Amino acid sequence: MAASLIFTTEPLATRALAAEIRHDHVRFVAKLAEYVGAGRLGRFADVRAEHGDQKIDIALTFVEPGVVVGIEAKFDHTLTEDQVDRELTVADHLVVLLLEREHAPEWLPRKARVTLMTWEEALDCFPHSRLTLAEVRAARSGKSAVEARLRRLIEPAQQRLGSGWAIDSRRGGSGMPAINFYSSWIGDAQLRAVLQVAQRAMPPAGEPVPLRFSVGISVKADSTSYPRDTAKTPTWVDAVRRLQRDVIGDRVEDFHLSRRRPSSAHVNSKTENGRAHARKLAIVGHHFDDSERWLTTGYIDWIVGPASTRMPLEQVELLADALVEILDSWYRVEIEAFAGVES
């Protein structure tokens, strides 16, 4: 009979690990010495949770010489470089504990005084641990696994698009896993896209994880991108028209694009973005037929362009292939259009 799960939240699992270290620290300290350096660690003195004004998850204190090794245990919450820098003000060395090494941010391996360790490596130090790897895995909602899957798409996308493109895996404003695409600048404009989890919270374990992409030309929430005179043609209108004519054509389904129209729910006369949204809808109404409005979704202060339909994580490669083909083709079209203007 499988053991029941007890420590199934991040705080419980972290404190359970601290208790295991306090009960029998020998093997764990030896593992730390492999990373930190045996000569740096003195005699183990204490372990505590939520250490210092930075509230490091776990801190081990050594004496003769005096050293503090912090442990930052991550499940699904974002780990930022700023957070690590702040924690290094109260710890001499920081160990970041992750379920898989591939879940680490790109910048982490280059960080001084920081070491990556997996939960499996940590728990192997306690032969009779009351905290199990199954409990640690149950303490997360799946963001890290989705992020790892998305990051595997970056290298092939970079190879197809070329070195002029920047691609990163920063989470979106709602904290959902995402990969972001930025072309080199074409005059004052840039092609951008995001492939991300298509909702503001992860679904319950076992349910499908929906993803979608948004792709478009760069805009700002100002009167240049969204002039008050709807007869004026901002640059994004022509760029979206070229996307429609020279890239998408009759391949809407091939590119898994959605024909859903942009929402008017964000119109708000009290905010800059809300006022810009009202001007955008007026411009769209002047320059596009109702059947074409799906080409003008996006984010009011980031991009204007179409979005894809939602597809499950298991089919994310199909979404990525379609997105990269759109970006590659559209960039070539925009470069040619810009060269024509310049000449």
Cβ distance 225 to 273 under 8 Å? no
What residues contact residue 234 under an 8 Å CB cut-off, 6+ apart? 219, 224, 225, 226, 227, 283
Q: Quick one: pLDDT at residue 262?
A: 78
Average pLDDT of the chain to the nearest whole number: 90
Mean pLDDT across 269-274:
86
pLDDT tens digits, one per residue of 120-154: 999 999 998 999 888 887 666 577 778 888 999 99
Q: Quick one: pLDDT at residue 334?
A: 97
Mean pLDDT across 227-242:
95
pLDDT tens digits, one per residue of 275-304: 999 999 999 999 999 999 999 999 999 999
Q: Quick one: pLDDT at residue 140?
A: 62
pLDDT tens digits, one per residue of 178-213: 999 999 999 999 999 999 999 888 787 678 899 999
Cβ distance 60 to 68 under 8 Å? yes
Q: Quick one: pLDDT at residue 342?
A: 66
Confidence class for position 1, pLDDT limits 50, 70, 90: very low
Q: Quick one: pLDDT at residue 265?
A: 67
Q: Quick one: pLDDT at residue 205?
A: 65
Q: Is the pLDDT of residue 263 over 80?
A: no
Which of 179, 184, 305, 151 is closest to 241 using CA atoms?
A: 305
Q: How far apart are the C-alpha atoms of 182 and 159, rounded to whole Å?
A: 14
Of the chain, the percentage scoring pLDDT greater than 70 comes to 94
pLDDT tens digits, one per residue of 3-23: 677 886 778 889 999 999 999
Please tell me the pTM assigned to this model. Answer: 0.69
pLDDT tens digits, one per residue of 47-93: 999 887 888 999 999 998 889 999 998 876 667 888 899 999 999 99
